[in-house]
């Protein structure tokens, strides 16, 4: 997985969701929660990639809907 994160293995040789899950695991293990503020994720850090992706999509969708309400 480390090699996939560095783009040293073809993307077709790995499952992107597993690579993302490994990156999330590594960030949480090292205490780097900067992804929460960077992506404006509600609910704080999580160790579940599925929950993280849903939160990211929900936050992005909410910001798009809010922009549609502007005059």
pLDDT in tens, 16-53: 888 899 999 999 999 999 999 998 888 889 999 999 99
Between 54 and 64, name the one with better pLDDT: 54
First to last CA, the chain: 46
Contact of 22 with 1, CB cutoff 8 Å: yes
What global pTM score does this model have?
0.73
Place of tokens 């579940």: 48
Contact residues for 12 (Cβ-Cβ < 8 A; gap 6+): none
Query: Hey, is 14 helix, strand or coil?
Result: coil
């Amino acid at each position: 997985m480390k090699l996939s994160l560095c783009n040293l293995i073809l993307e077709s040789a790995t499952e992107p969701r597993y690579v993302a899950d490994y990156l999330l695991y590594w960030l949480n293990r090292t205490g780097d929660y900067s992804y929460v503020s960077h992506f404006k994720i509600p609910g704080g850090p999580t160790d579940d990639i599925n929950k993280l992706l849903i939160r990211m999509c929900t936050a992005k969708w909410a910001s798009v809907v809010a922009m549609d309400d502007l005059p």
